[in-house]
Amino acid sequence: MSTIFHKIQRREIPAEIVYEDEHLFAFKDIAPQAPVHVLFVPKQDFATLNDVPDNQPEIVGRLALAAAKYAKAQGFDEDGYRIVMNCNGDGGQTVFQIHLHLLAGAPLGRFGTPV
């Protein structure tokens, strides 16, 4: 499995990486949907949320907690933020390596409206 996010992780294509540890990395979205838009990606490969095994909840948990930590470090945790994972076609997923979106920096519209 090789996606554009693997290339970012390997520094083969440029991205503004804002965080990395042994489990995950995070970088600014190239097409931000809010003033702050960061993607958190696990280093273990799963195409979609459907593929994460029941016995590995930490894969998803770490992404959410890394996003919260980033929000605190950047000082917008109290103002608030949104985390989102898109899954497959109806969810609007376009890159098939699981990732969590962190959106912040302004009041966000409601979500979930069918297009």
Instruction: Give residues in contact with ligand AMP (CB under 6 A).
Output: 4, 13, 15, 29-31, 39, 86, 92-95
CB of 32 to ligand AMP, least distance (A): 8
DSSP state of 108: P
For 59, list phi and psi in degrees, rounded to 5. -60, -45
The residue among 31 and 115 lying less far from ligand AMP, judged by its C-beta, is: 31
Q: Cα separation of 85 and 101, whole Å?
A: 6
The residue among 30 and 106 lying less far from ligand AMP, judged by its C-beta, is: 30
Q: Which of 6, 37, 99, 101 is catalytic?
A: 99
CB of 56 to ligand AMP, least distance (A): 20
CB of 90 to ligand AMP, least distance (A): 12
Three-state SS for 32-91 is CCCCEEEEEEECCCCCCHHHCCCCCCHHHHHHHHHHHHHHHHHCCCCCCEEEECCCHHHH
The residue among 13 and 65 lying less far from ligand AMP, judged by its C-beta, is: 13
Residue numbers annotated as active site: 99
